[in-house]
Amino acid sequence: MSRKLKRSILFWLVLGPFAVVALFPYAVMLSTALKPGDEIFVFPPTWLPSRLAFENFVEMWSATGFGTALLNSLLIATAGTVLSLLVAIPAAYALARLRWHGQGLYRQFLLVAQMLSPIVLVIGIFRLMAAMGLVDSQWALVLAYAAFNLAFATWMMSSYFRTIPKEIEEAAWIDGATRMQSLVRVFLPLALPALAVTGIFTFINCWNEFVLALTILRSNEKYPLTLQIFTLVGGAYKINWHHVMAATFAATVPVAVVFALLQRALVRGLSLGSVK
């Protein structure tokens, strides 16, 4: 047995239990989503259903307004991610390339800001949005999500910007490019890997957020998926777990698709950076 094969077997033995623990909730979710309603609480419990009840997804979609909530989540998460990146890119560039008083304190502030949870500031954020007239507005969530992810996005982008050789930027200046042009035409193509990674995590954070959405939104037609799925459990006298799990499984699909698409952008960015 080769040394490489032994090392692979050792890694699988060590990481296998962690993979099982991480994937177990998804296995339960998928199994419950595909079971008929009368097979969920049988004893002894069974993993495999007697038949694949795909009608659970159809019934869940029509009964819960899942399509509207899905569109709301996509719009809010996408807008929050784009807004956060638009502000983080010039801030990260200034942090990586410019020298100014208080820069060290600003870096420490970014680290501290990443430790703050929305639930700690939820009352202050609600009062701020109420003063701006944005209660029960999806734009309030977009602004809040962009603000809470801004520190993370700035730190990630600035760390990657510092790895780009300054000579490339100086060559662009010699060719007549301004600092903004060099940022757009030189830095951003080289920073596609960082943009992809930062965009993935920012989008997932916006997609999964629950507390701010529950606090700010009032109308059911404006609910994102997190709130819409919560209404299946929190305000119901009878919980149809096959519908809840079907909705939860369907809610994970867009995140997986976005992650797969941005992975391709990550690979393209890596190859582009090597050519440059």
Instruction: Compute the distance between CA of residue 30 and CA of residue 272 in angstroms, rounded to an integer.
Output: 39
Task: Quote the pLDDT of residue 204.
Answer: 87
Residue 98 one-letter amino acid = L
**For every one of its 276 residues, what pLDDT tens digit does the chain have, with 9 covering 90 and above?**
677 777 888 888 888 888 888 888 888 888 888 888 777 777 777 778 888 888 888 888 877 788 888 899 999 999 999 999 999 998 888 888 878 787 778 778 777 777 777 778 888 889 999 999 999 999 999 999 999 899 889 888 888 888 888 888 788 788 777 778 887 887 788 888 788 888 888 988 899 898 899 999 988 889 998 888 888 776 556 777 888 888 888 888 777 777 777 666 555 544 444 444
Q: In 3D, which of 257, 261, 251 has the Cα closest to residue 66?
A: 251
Instruction: Compute the distance between CA of residue 156 and CA of residue 160 in angstroms, rounded to an integer.
Output: 7
Task: Quote the pLDDT of residue 67.
Answer: 86
Phi, psi angle pair for 132, to nearest 5°: -90, 0
Please provide the CATH number assigned to the domain covering 65-275: 1.10.3720.10
Helices (H), 98-136: 103-115, 122-131
State pTM to two decimals.
0.80
Q: How many CB atoms lie within 10 A of CB 159?
A: 13
Q: How many CB atoms lie within 10 A of CB 197?
A: 18
Residues of the chain with CATH 1.10.3720.10: 65-275
Task: Quote the pLDDT of residue 142.
Answer: 94
Q: How many CB atoms lie within 10 A of CB 175?
A: 10
Residue 86 one-letter amino acid = L
Instruction: Compute the distance between CA of residue 58 and CA of residue 51 in angstroms, rounded to an integer.
Output: 16
> In a 3-state reduction of DSSP, which class is residue 29?
helix
